[in-house]
Amino acid sequence: MELCWRYSSGAAMERFCLGLRERRIEALRCDRCGRRQLPPRPMCGDCRARMSSWVRVADQGALVAWTIVHVPAMDGRTGRPRGVPYAMGLVRLDGADTTLNHFLRMPEATQPPLALGARVRAVWRADRRGAIDDIVHFEVMP
């Protein structure tokens, strides 16, 4: 079965995605609980309040969790399986309260192993098109 979809992103994601093209990351902050949420979405799930306060988020932060995956999974963007092994992390970007799950640059054998709390930063694609994978992965900062 060949399946093709085209999804409209909605206003909040549209602003977020256009920002990614400019290497700009923005979150929406709930005015009730103060939580700065990525990805941005129109409502705060906990408070059930509309969110409209945009805040700037850095493209670097702290590594909260990580894994190295050996099981092939399909890349939704390309429709092809991702090469293994690859590393994934949960990153709390400076300026956001939620964490972002994204790829991590695989640690080289000579580098220290992935450590919780390590500072990581985004590695951006040269040809950005306004999508979450305009960030290729996060790398541990020296």
Residue 11 binds another protein (CB under 8 A): no
For residue 141, give both structure tokens.
């900062």
- Gap between the Cα atoms of 126 and 75, Å rounded: 19
Site string for another protein, 103-142 (x = CB under 8 A): x------------x--------------xxx---------
Q: Do residues 20 and 136 make contact, with C-beta atoms less than 8 angstroms apart?
A: no
- In sequence order, the β-bridge partners of residue 72 are none
* DSSP state letter for 39: S
Region from 51-59, 65-73, 118-126 binding another protein, contact rule CB under 8 A: 65-73
Q: Do residues 117 and 63 make contact, with C-beta atoms less than 8 angstroms apart?
A: yes
When binding is defined by CB under 8 A, the residue of 64, 106, 123, 136 that contacts another protein is 64
The residue among 29 and 102 lying less far from another protein, judged by its C-beta, is 102
- Gap between the Cα atoms of 111 and 66, Å rounded: 16
State the nearest-atom distance from the C-beta of 52 to another protein, in Å.
19
Interface residues with another protein (CB under 8 A) are 1-9, 13, 17, 37-39, 45-46, 64-71, 73-77, 79, 81-82, 86, 88-90, 98-103, 116, 131-133
